[in-house]
Amino acid sequence: MFGFRDRLAWIDLTRGSIEVREIGSRDLGDFIGGSNLGAAILARLVDGDTDPLSPENPLIMVTGHVMVETIQKRRSGCKRCPVMCARVVEIEEPSKYATDGVVEAPEYESFAAFGGLQLVDDLHAVVKANELCNRWGLDVLSVGGTIAMANECFEKGLLTLTDTDGLELGMNRPDSNIELLRRIAYREGALGELLGKGSRGAAREIGHGAEEYAIEVKGMELPMHDPRFSWGQALSYATGNRGACHLTAQAHSFEQTLNFPELGYDTPQPIRSADGKSQFVVHLQNYMSLRDSLIFCSFSQFNNATKATHVRNCYNPITGAGLDFDAFMQLGERGYQLKRMINNRCGITRKDDTLPPRLRTLRKVRENLDFDVPPLNPMLSESYDLRGWTDEGRPSAETIARLGLKEFISA
Ligand code: SF4
């Protein structure tokens, strides 16, 4: 969207009327981005008893605007891509979060990692944190999750001012987040050294139950897609070769909006259902492993702009391999299973295919709201059977032979 008019078209389909309403400067300033603004409007209009299919439940379409209208310079992206999904921004002095010229804007995960996760609502502070992560080579999800853990530990008394060399941590402290980024990047002081180990390593050293606040799988901090909402994502986080990565299967996308007819999924899969979910995740993990290896942009899957058949149609002429669809998809499986064999060598087994304690036990329950916890163990067992793994989570001898991976069996 290239502009924002500070107004909403209020469409009443029952009465057939369209009315233009002002949004109000307070809301525009207080709720950054289309989805946050939409949430504010929705929260005022409905309560927990509103029937989702009734006329009282509105359909709200709003666009992000504050960043566009205040600091965004232009859209950006990869050469010749028609989507141009990136944005570049600049914050000028006297803001204390002034950027070093024009920099990449935060995207969804960065906004969540340095915004919502830390209860920070300052756009400039989030942009600065994102800029520093890019400059220092820090993954926003991992470092954001680690800082959030440290903030929670401080609020719970597990870290003290002595541990932080006098730095006050806690939620909604954007300046201390930025200072923590610097200490982590430079491994400065005991705290920089501690948090540089990531949330798992740091929590184990902090002790006293700090592991509960480390939201990670296999040492990788979770992305901003709640697995209690998306059970395919839950299984994919648990079994992901690199840990809790949302791109390992992208199950959340295929559970909410995308279909995959080539694999028999004509419609998006139900989010909080375990039915057929293990097969679905195995399919997606195999395919994403292949797609990532071929360096296809994930976003081009939306609206099926590039399907598996398109990818195969690029692969075959370039390589001369002449693979049919099934043989092509098996390339993905071979890669995925090989990575699991490497993980097995490093000691990864079923004990590591899990979710953080909070996401296995803590239901989000409120009147008319119930984010149930996913039934992880049955889904795990089913996915092991489908993959041809032992109960311990190792590709069986038959699986290794079927995929031609015998040479990688460790001595
Ligand atoms: S949609 Fe993909 S290819 Fe296009 S600009 Fe974004 S990352 Fe690059």
Question: What tens digit of pLDDT does each residue of 336-354 get?
Answer: 999 999 999 999 999 999 9
Number of domains in the chain: 3
Statement: residue 166 has pLDDT above 80:
yes
pLDDT tens sequence across 220-270: 999 999 999 899 999 999 999 999 999 999 999 999 888 999 999 999 999
231-234 contacts at long range (C-beta below 8 A, 24 or more positions apart): 231/255, 231/271, 231/272, 231/273, 231/274, 231/277, 231/374, 231/375, 231/379, 232/269, 232/271, 232/277, 232/280, 232/281, 232/284, 234/355, 234/359, 234/374, 234/376, 234/379
pLDDT tens sequence across 107-140: 999 999 999 999 998 999 999 999 999 999 999 9
Give residue 298's pLDDT band: very low, low, confident or very high (50, 70, 90): confident
Average pLDDT over the chain reads: 91
Across the range 23-36, mean pLDDT stands at 67
Residue 1, domain member (yes or no): no
How many A from CA of 396 to the centre of ligand 1?
38
Percent of the chain with pLDDT over 70: 93
Statement: residue 371 has pLDDT above 80:
no
Residue among 92, 81, 195, 176 at smallest CA distance from 138 = 195
35 and 91 both lie in a single domain: no
Q: How many other CB atoms are there within 10 angstroms of residue 105's CB atom? A: 25
Residue 153, domain member (yes or no): yes
39 and 85 both lie in a single domain: no
Q: Is 76 touching ligand 1 by the criterion CB < 6 Å?
A: no
How many A from CA of 303 to the centre of ligand 1?
15
DSSP state, residue 117: G
- Closest C-alpha to ligand 1, atom 6: 85
204 and 267 both lie in a single domain: no
Residue 40, domain member (yes or no): yes
30 and 121 both lie in a single domain: no
**374: exposed, middle or buried (Cβ count in 10 Å: 0-12, 13-18, 19+):** buried
Domain hosting 386: range is: 221-408
206 and 114 both lie in a single domain: yes
Cα 7–Cα 12–Cα 17 angle in degrees, nearest 5: 85
250 and 359 both lie in a single domain: yes
- Predicted confidence at residue 305, as pLDDT, reads 81
**What's 376's domain CATH number?**
1.10.599.10
Statement: residue 50 has pLDDT above 50:
yes
Phi then psi dihedrals of residue 202, to 5 deg: -65, -45
Statement: residue 171 has pLDDT above 90:
yes
- The residue whose CB lies within 8 Å of the most ligand 1 atoms, and thus the one to mutate among 76, 80, 84, 306, is 84
Across the range 69-77, mean pLDDT stands at 92
Q: Which atom of ligand 1 lies closest to the CA of 81?
A: 4
DSSP state, residue 7: E
Looking at residue 226, its amino acid is D
Residue 2, domain member (yes or no): no
How many A from CA of 350 to the centre of ligand 1?
35
233 and 302 both lie in a single domain: yes
Cα 231–Cα 237–Cα 242 angle in degrees, nearest 5: 165
- Predicted confidence at residue 245, as pLDDT, reads 96
Residue finishing a domain among 35, 66, 97: 66
Residue 135, domain member (yes or no): yes
How many A from CA of 28 to the centre of ligand 1?
29
Q: Is 297 touching ligand 1 by the criterion CB < 6 Å?
A: yes
Q: Is 302 touching ligand 1 by the criterion CB < 6 Å?
A: no
Q: Is 201 touching ligand 1 by the criterion CB < 6 Å?
A: no
Check if the beta carbon of residue 288 is closer than 8 Å to that of residue 296: no
124 and 202 both lie in a single domain: yes
DSSP 344-362: HHTT--GGGS---HHHHH-
Residue 149, domain member (yes or no): yes
How many A from CA of 174 to the centre of ligand 1?
29
Residue finishing a domain among 162, 184, 214: 214
How many A from CA of 107 to the centre of ligand 1?
12
Q: Is 43 touching ligand 1 by the criterion CB < 6 Å?
A: no
- Predicted confidence at residue 47, as pLDDT, reads 75
62 and 81 both lie in a single domain: no
330 and 364 both lie in a single domain: yes
How many A from CA of 300 to the centre of ligand 1?
8
Check if the beta carbon of residue 104 is closer than 8 Å to that of residue 67: no
40 and 111 both lie in a single domain: no
Residue 202, domain member (yes or no): yes
- Closest C-alpha to ligand 1, atom 8: 78
Cβ-based neighbours of 122, under 8 Å, separated by 6 or more:
97, 174
Looking at residue 255, its amino acid is E
Give residue 1's pLDDT band: very low, low, confident or very high (50, 70, 90): very low
Q: Is 294 touching ligand 1 by the criterion CB < 6 Å?
A: no
Give residue 33's pLDDT band: very low, low, confident or very high (50, 70, 90): low
- Predicted confidence at residue 11, as pLDDT, reads 86
Give residue 16's pLDDT band: very low, low, confident or very high (50, 70, 90): confident
61 and 85 both lie in a single domain: no
Across the range 6-27, mean pLDDT stands at 81
The whole-angstrom separation of Cα 235 and Cα 375 is 9
Residue 370, domain member (yes or no): yes
Is the sign of the CA dihedral 57, 62, 67, 70 positive or negative? negative
- The residue whose CB lies within 8 Å of the most ligand 1 atoms, and thus the one to mutate among 297, 298, 303, 306, is 297
Residue finishing a domain among 45, 66, 87: 66
Q: Which atom of ligand 1 lies closest to the CA of 76?
A: 5
How many A from CA of 34 to the centre of ligand 1?
21
Statement: residue 27 has pLDDT above 80:
no
Q: Which atom of ligand 1 lies closest to the CA of 84?
A: 5
- Predicted confidence at residue 2, as pLDDT, reads 45
- Closest C-alpha to ligand 1, atom 5: 77
**Is the model more confident about 333 or about 410?**
333
Structure-block tokens of residue 400: 């290794």
pLDDT tens sequence across 313-333: 999 999 999 999 999 999 999
Name the least confident of 52-61, 90-99, 112-121, 388-397.
52-61
How many A from CA of 301 to the centre of ligand 1?
11
Q: Is 305 touching ligand 1 by the criterion CB < 6 Å?
A: no
